[in-house]
A and B are shown apart, each in its own frame.
Chain A
Amino acid sequence: MGAEFVQFSLTPILIGMFAAMACALPGNFLILRRQALIGDAISHVVLPGIVVAFLITGTVTTWPMLLGAAGAALLAVVLIEAVRRLGRIEPGAAMGVVFTSLFAAGVLLLEQSDTSSVHLDVEHALMGNLEQLIWLRADGWGSLLDPEALAHLPPELPRMAVVAAIIGLLTLVFWRPLKLASFDEGFARALGLPVTLIGLGLVTAAAAAAVAAFDAVGSIIVIAMFICPPAAARLMTNRLGKQVAWSMLFACISAIAGYVLAGYGPLWIGAASSVSAAGMVAVVSGVILALACLFGPARSRVGVAAGG
């Protein structure tokens, strides 16, 4: 755990952790509301948003990308709702129609606009560039106290940390209405809570998390973290507070173990190069979910323990 670790692994792991937690937090509520696949849909439509932003501004700087992605995510949510209502189509199919079409449009624009020369390609969109978010100026743990070195942190780290903190704060502030609206929408409505607004706010927070994480870590981690840690946590407990805590723990374990396994795992078994960190984080979260499915104390539908 020396200087090299701080230089090459600390910042990607931290970014991965913040991204994982920012996605898993709204994921808890999406799963309860049976909207788990909203995360999947959002992360597919982020691609056309980013391409359009690039075509308009001609640069690959952060803010146009984020705005484009957020715009696309919002457009997708609106379109899904419009198709569902206007066509009287069940939500899953409406979602499928919208996100596959938008994704196809994104791929087409991408191929047409020759953006591949500026590190904007499908592979990058899928896998992100977690491995490249290294902290070159660091020369050991001491750099954490060195303002000169801290100024050269990868900008993704503070951005992801801020997004995770904001989503955490929002969850705390709106905890009670979120909980009520997710478990029993009818009751929440009867209490006079703005249920539709809460749902929209939740989806917006999810989109913000997806968009912020997408640039740094790619869509695989985003989709996996929306679903796997909260799903595993749901099998651990019957209480929402504990579920959220478990999901945060699982998200962190996935990010850390996934990155370490991807970076160092192949070296342990004698292979020469590392494998995709994003893919590995998703795989670890899947292993955690599989274990929860097999051994989680609240895994079964029937015979749910009282109290809990």
Chain B
Amino acid sequence: MSSFFSALLLQGGYNAALVAIGASLLGFAAGAGGSFLFLRKRALVSDAVAHATLPGVGLAFIVMVLLGGDGRSLPGLLAGSAISAWLGLLAVEWIVRRTRLSEDAAIGAILSVFFGLGVVLLTVIQSMSQGRQAGLESFLLGSTAGMLFQDAVLIAGGGAAVVALIWILRRPMTLVAFDPGFAAARGVDVRRVDLAMMGLVLAVTVIGLKLVGLILIVALLIIPPVTARFWSERAEAVVWSAGALGAVSGYVGAAVSASAPALPTGPIIVLISAALFVLSLLFAPARGVLASVLARRAFQARVHRRQGLLALSRSEPIHDPLTVKILRRENLMRADGVATAEGRAAGEKISRDERRWSIARKQHLDTALTGRYDGLTPIESVFTADEIAHFDAAMERNA
């Protein structure tokens, strides 16, 4: 446990600190970049992008070895993965635009075919005698233990560049994510903004390959934005809090795995971000499960209280256990079912208000006002005192 805290405070050694910083920057870039895809309802495009990097990695390795270099040079492999992922993206877009296949079919086709091609190339590499291919499989699941200083610089620099680009492009990307039609009418080139969005996701994927691997980077692009959505209705807040959630997952995940070497970094980071998701799903204010259960129960209580008071004012017996419980808790009704003085007064008021409402709804043709009648809205919050007095007068005349 103490090694966990020392890793958390960047005291767990040079390499652990390197990984923690790299992972949190990557997490931030992934969370923020993935948000736009999520808001554009295209979260799974990142799945296709990630899988489409594999043949590029394999081809880059083969080409570098054939040219007599070290097949494992990271910049070369990343360049290869970026090119093939970009081709995969263009292929998805081409299929959606040119054929009648839907986007999810295109995504699935591209991810499986590119991944298959990548696996074929990996077996080719395995049969090549030269080039020290060991470690190439780590692109599938990521490996942080072997992270070197220049890798960390690459990840940090790339992550920072991605975040800067997100900052610059946040307005047009938000616009396109929410309402592409409106964006087009405002003169925004939707296709180019979409491509920029994809480009950012692609950059995050390529940077993240070394750290979490191509299969799990998808998780970092999808889970933090979905989590952030629970906490805010505002697009920009979603983007930056998704970044923060991603950064926390990356940082804590790296610290956990640094303190327990048997725990692989990639899956740990993903599982921490999944835990944050579950917590938000349950406990977020307004959109969380708990909040909606509480809101539902509060509403239920208001309905029962009102129905109970109406029944009291008419001296009808109340059988519903929830209604009885609420009325007795507020001391509006005695244990034997008879209204207390307060209960009678409240019941009187509510039934008077009910009569006022019925007059109001006959007299007022303004549905913006009378339409707010739902049996729960107090009449004073809709009409002024003069108007209510007017209704009372009308009631007198009727009586």
A binds B: yes
Assembled-state Cα–Cα distance A286/B92 (Å): 12
Q: Are A279 and B116 in contact (CB under 8 A)?
A: yes
User: Least Cβ distance of B252 to chain A in Å?
Assistant: 14
The residue on B at minimum CB distance from A218 is: B119
Q: Are A293 and B99 in contact (CB under 8 A)?
A: yes
Residues in B213-238 with C-beta less than 8 Å from chain A: 215-216, 218-219, 222-223, 225-226, 229-230
**Cβ contact of B105, chosen from A83, A126, A227, A285, cutoff 8 A:** A227
Assembled-state Cα–Cα distance A303/B105 (Å): 21
- Which of A152-160, A195-203, A267-275 lies on the face that meets chain B? A267-275
User: Least Cβ distance of A56 to chain B in Å?
Assistant: 20
Say if the beta carbon of B208 comes within 8 Å of chain A.
no
Say if the beta carbon of B79 comes within 8 Å of chain A.
no
User: Least Cβ distance of A115 to chain B in Å?
Assistant: 14
Q: Are B112 and A93 in contact (CB under 8 A)?
A: no
Q: Are A279 and B229 in contact (CB under 8 A)?
A: no
Q: Are B100 and A235 in contact (CB under 8 A)?
A: yes
**Cβ contact of A40, chosen from B108, B223, B267, cutoff 8 A:** B108
Residues in A26-63 with C-beta less than 8 Å from chain B: 31, 34-37, 39-40, 44
Most buried by A among B95, B101, B218, B230: B101
1/0 per residue, CB under 8 A from B, across A222-235: the answer is 01101110010011
Q: A223-B108, A281-B116 are in contact. Are A87 and B230 (CB under 8 A)?
A: yes
Q: Are A107 and B264 in contact (CB under 8 A)?
A: yes
**Cβ contact of B123, chosen from A83, A104, A276, cutoff 8 A:** A276
Say if the beta carbon of A278 comes within 8 Å of chain B.
yes
Say if the beta carbon of B140 comes within 8 Å of chain A.
yes
Q: Are A92 and B41 in contact (CB under 8 A)?
A: yes
Chain B residues closer than 8 Å to A228, beta-carbon distance: 109, 112-113
Residues in A250-284 with C-beta less than 8 Å from chain B: 262, 266, 271-276, 278-283
Assembled-state Cα–Cα distance A293/B99 (Å): 6
Q: A95-B44, A273-B127, A280-B120 are in contact. Are A37 and B108 (CB under 8 A)?
A: yes
Q: A86-B289, A293-B95 are in contact. Are A108 and B268 (CB under 8 A)?
A: yes
Q: Are A36 and B104 in contact (CB under 8 A)?
A: yes
**Cβ contact of B100, chosen from A86, A262, A275, A299, cutoff 8 A:** A299
User: Least Cβ distance of A123 to chain B in Å?
Assistant: 7
Q: A97-B223, A234-B101 are in contact. Are A283 and B117 (CB under 8 A)?
A: yes
Q: Are A227 and B99 in contact (CB under 8 A)?
A: no
Q: A35-B104, A271-B127, A282-B112 are in contact. Are A100 and B218 (CB under 8 A)?
A: yes
Q: Are B104 and A105 in contact (CB under 8 A)?
A: no
User: Least Cβ distance of A223 to chain B in Å?
Assistant: 4
Chain B residues closer than 8 Å to A93, beta-carbon distance: 38, 41, 43-44, 222, 225-226
Q: Are A101 and B274 in contact (CB under 8 A)?
A: yes
**Cβ contact of B113, chosen from A35, A90, A283, cutoff 8 A:** A283
The residue on B at minimum CB distance from A235 is: B99
Secondary structure class of chain B's binding surface, majority of residues: helix
Question: Which bracket fits the contact residues of A?
Answer: 35 or more
Question: Which bracket fits the contact residues of B?
Answer: 35 or more
Say if the beta carbon of B310 comes within 8 Å of chain A.
no
Say if the beta carbon of B111 comes within 8 Å of chain A.
yes
Assembled-state Cα–Cα distance A231/B99 (Å): 10
Q: Are B105 and A231 in contact (CB under 8 A)?
A: yes
Assembled-state Cα–Cα distance A90/B41 (Å): 7
Chain A residues closer than 8 Å to B127, beta-carbon distance: 271-273, 275
Q: Are B109 and A286 in contact (CB under 8 A)?
A: yes
Q: Are A104 and B117 in contact (CB under 8 A)?
A: no
Say if the beta carbon of B137 comes within 8 Å of chain A.
yes
Assembled-state Cα–Cα distance A63/B218 (Å): 31
Q: Are B274 and A127 in contact (CB under 8 A)?
A: no
The residue on A at minimum CB distance from B280 is: A87
Say if the beta carbon of A300 comes within 8 Å of chain B.
yes
The residue on A at minimum CB distance from B262 is: A112
Q: A276-B120, A276-B123, A300-B99 are in contact. Are A101 and B112 (CB under 8 A)?
A: no
Q: Are A282 and B100 in contact (CB under 8 A)?
A: no
Q: Are B222 and A100 in contact (CB under 8 A)?
A: yes
Q: A104-B267, A104-B274, A281-B116 are in contact. Are A92 and B105 (CB under 8 A)?
A: no
Chain A residues closer than 8 Å to B95, beta-carbon distance: 293
Q: Show 29 A/B contacts (Cβ-Cβ < 8 Å), sorted by A.
A: A34-B104, A36-B102, A87-B289, A90-B43, A94-B226, A96-B219, A100-B216, A104-B216, A104-B267, A105-B271, A107-B267, A108-B264, A122-B140, A126-B119, A223-B112, A224-B112, A224-B113, A227-B109, A234-B100, A262-B120, A271-B124, A276-B119, A276-B120, A279-B115, A282-B113, A282-B119, A285-B112, A299-B99, A304-B100
Q: List the 5 closest pairs (A to B, CB-CB), nearest first.
A: A282-B116, A286-B113, A100-B219, A279-B119, A104-B270
* With A36-B108, A96-B46, A127-B119 already in contact, 15 other A-B pairs whose C-beta atoms are closer than 8 Å: A31-B101, A31-B105, A83-B281, A86-B281, A87-B289, A92-B41, A96-B222, A104-B270, A105-B271, A224-B116, A275-B123, A282-B112, A286-B109, A299-B99, A301-B100
B residues near A, CB below 8 A?
A: 38, 41-44, 46-47, 94-95, 98-102, 104-105, 107-109, 111-120, 122-124, 127, 137, 140-141, 215-216, 218-219, 222-223, 225-226, 229-230, 262-264, 266-268, 270-271, 274, 277, 281, 287, 289
